[in-house]
Structure 1
Amino acid sequence: MSFVYKADPVRGAEWAEFFARKMPDMPFHIWPDVGDARDVRYLAAWQPPANLMTDFPNLEVLFCTGAGIDHLDLSVVPDAIPIVRMVETGIVSGMVEYVTLAVLSIHRDWKTYLEQQRERDWTAHRVRPASSRRVGVLGLGSLGRAVLPRLQSFGFSCAGWSRFPQQMDGVDCYAGADEMGAFLKRTDILICLVPLTDSTRGILDKRLFDALPRGAAVINVGRGGHLVQDDLLQALNDGTLSYAVVDVCEPEPLPRHHPFWTHPKVTLTPHIASMTQPETAVEAVVANIRRLKEGSPMIGLVDSARGY
């Protein structure tokens, strides 16, 4: 019984070190070295091999090395093989840090002051209290639910939207298509953290931007497929939106001529809002293997019907 890691080999070396401490009796291999393929029971991959079950005929679990599964070619994964997305504290902490930075940079006009510094312009702008700014998180999964309490701690008025009703202390929760309009209407800074599925592809479009208060800002840390780029550019240029922070794009990387690189109302980062951290990722994977052996449900188990 062995484990194979198929993703960034540099991080794989770190995985191997932590895995040896946590499960010293289980052989750990880094792709393309898989040892005896018949012994492989667990595979951690960003993208599994095309001939998954031929390569690993006795595979029991596919662990995704990222928080989402939209990049996976699910056609190569039999229905009988459970897929487990990465739910680990390193990803959560990184996302909380990035979103907090993005919201505060918008709230405190950081881009304006950076531009003024280059122009030697000593103009002070009014400082608004956080309580006057309404933040909304689109998606109340593990990341959205972690981000909101941190933003609440600054005094922002916080709300969240999800497909199904949820509750959070101090957060106005909206659910379903019928409540989307009310959620958007009360949101000055929108953070996209929904999974990318057929129903959410292109959700950040002209119709959504028009439903926000004029001059709202958007932060996309979900997936590039959530955003209709031309609609965002139009909304920024005509004043519908005041600013956008874009961490994820389609394609990645963006072409060098793409207008996001130079647009004065866009902050662009190269898909670094959060990254799987080897130590905490291994802890999460090992804990799930032990749950499986005990007959307990694994954390992060994907519902293929929902797509996440």
Structure 2
Amino acid sequence: MPETLLFHSDFDDAAAWTDALRRELPDLDVAISTRPYDPAAVRYALVWQPPVGFFAPLVNLALVTNLGAGVDALVGRADLPGVPVTRICDPEMARMMASFVLLAVLRHARDIPMLEQARRERRWHWVNPRTAGEITVGILGLGELGARAAREVAGQGFRVKGWSRSPKSLTGIETSYGLGALDDFLSEVEILVVMLPLTAETRHLLDARRLALLPRGAKLVNVARGAVVDEAALVEALRGGHLDSATLDVFEVEPLPQDSPLWTMENVLMTPHLASVAIPSSAAAQIAENIRRLRRGAAPLFKVEAGRGY
């Protein structure tokens, strides 16, 4: 009887993932959660934000792979006791994220939001460009994606500072770590890029007090998780002018509620959580390798540490 991998996502292309996984493992049965399947046959799950109780019927489940970098929707679930959770670690995801971050940083560094506003007002507005070296970009979170983004931005000549929970060393990047260093870090960056995982410690890490530490006129880019930033405090900082503008790919509630004030704020660019996504053609190989490892009794790669939350 073939082993079954159960796929669940409301956003990803199930057919593309099925084809890619079957090319890697022809003996693997791939089931889609929206169609009939045998829960007892499921050994592996490839998921993005599955509903509460999703895993309870999967009594023979041996491995869960998250379809994105952030695993907060899987940590601490009552229906997933003792099952290893892994994250996708795909160079294509890192490249996609780094390019999005660079796009956002360049947009703010070249004052494009100001020029967009001038266009809406049919006003010819000159902004004297600054060199990249005059602008300090802060990368909040130096994991795999954050480190790649930091190097990409530094490669354009920006002064880049990085902050992380534990010590990190990156060539050409000024790094600091620990909560004790966070306030000083925030006070020194003009463009802040949020790339932290969402954990109990990082939820609303950027609250009203910490947002106020950013220099007046600073810009914020969030490509991590919406709840790392206190969204209500962010709205007020943008309305009051302490923050000049923001690029937001993630939000505390997704999809963003229709009554959110962010929809009508002209100094906010919003995208629907697409800064970086897993690509079936490149990520399927890693998923298949983990299945092969489990079949021969080895530990899976890129396992999430539940205690840390990532």
Residues 265 and 51 from structure 1, CA distance in 2 versus in 1: closer, same or farther, beyond 3 angstroms? closer
Aligned to 2:259: 257
- Where do residues 1-308 of structure 1 align in structure 2 (5 Å cutoff)? 1-8=3-10, 11-33=13-35, 35-48=37-50, 50-51=52-53, 55-72=57-74, 74-79=77-82, 81-293=83-295, 296-308=298-310
CA distance in 1, matches of 2:51, 2:117: 47
Cα RMSD between the aligned structures?
2.0
Deviation of 1:94 after TM superposition, in Å, equals 2.1
Opposite residue 5 of structure 1, the aligned amino acid is F
What do residues 166-198 of structure 1 show as CA deviations (whole Å, max 9, x unaligned)?
Answer: 111111111101111221122111111111111
Q: Quick check: 1:103–1:189 contact (8 Å CA) kept in 2?
A: yes
Q: What's the % identity of the aligned pairs?
A: 36
CA distance in 2, matches of 1:307, 1:285: 20
Opposite residue 46 of structure 1, the aligned amino acid is W
Please state whether the residue corresponding to 1:126 is helix, strand or coil: coil
Opposite residue 252 of structure 1, the aligned amino acid is E
CA distance in 1, matches of 2:236, 2:118: 25
Q: Quick check: 2:113–2:245 contact (8 Å CA) kept in 1?
A: no
Opposite residue 169 of structure 1, the aligned amino acid is T
Deviation of 1:205 after TM superposition, in Å, equals 1.5
Q: Quick check: 2:117–2:266 contact (8 Å CA) kept in 1?
A: no
Residues 40 and 209 from structure 1, CA distance in 2 versus in 1: closer, same or farther, beyond 3 angstroms? same
Contiguous gaps of at least 5 residues in structure 2: none
Q: Quick check: 1:191–1:221 contact (8 Å CA) kept in 2?
A: yes
Residues 149 and 4 from structure 1, CA distance in 2 versus in 1: closer, same or farther, beyond 3 angstroms? same
CA distance in 1, matches of 2:276, 2:11: 19
Deviation of 1:200 after TM superposition, in Å, equals 0.7
Please state whether the residue corresponding to 1:219 is helix, strand or coil: strand
Q: Quick check: 2:247–2:268 contact (8 Å CA) kept in 1?
A: yes
Contiguous gaps of at least 5 residues in structure 1: none
Residues 290 and 225 from structure 1, CA distance in 2 versus in 1: closer, same or farther, beyond 3 angstroms? same
Residues 186 and 112 from structure 1, CA distance in 2 versus in 1: closer, same or farther, beyond 3 angstroms? same
CA distance in 1, matches of 2:230, 2:57: 38
Deviation of 1:123 after TM superposition, in Å, equals 2.4
Deviation of 1:43 after TM superposition, in Å, equals 1.0
Q: Quick check: 1:292–1:298 contact (8 Å CA) kept in 2?
A: yes
Opposite residue 123 of structure 1, the aligned amino acid is H
Residues 243 and 21 from structure 1, CA distance in 2 versus in 1: closer, same or farther, beyond 3 angstroms? same
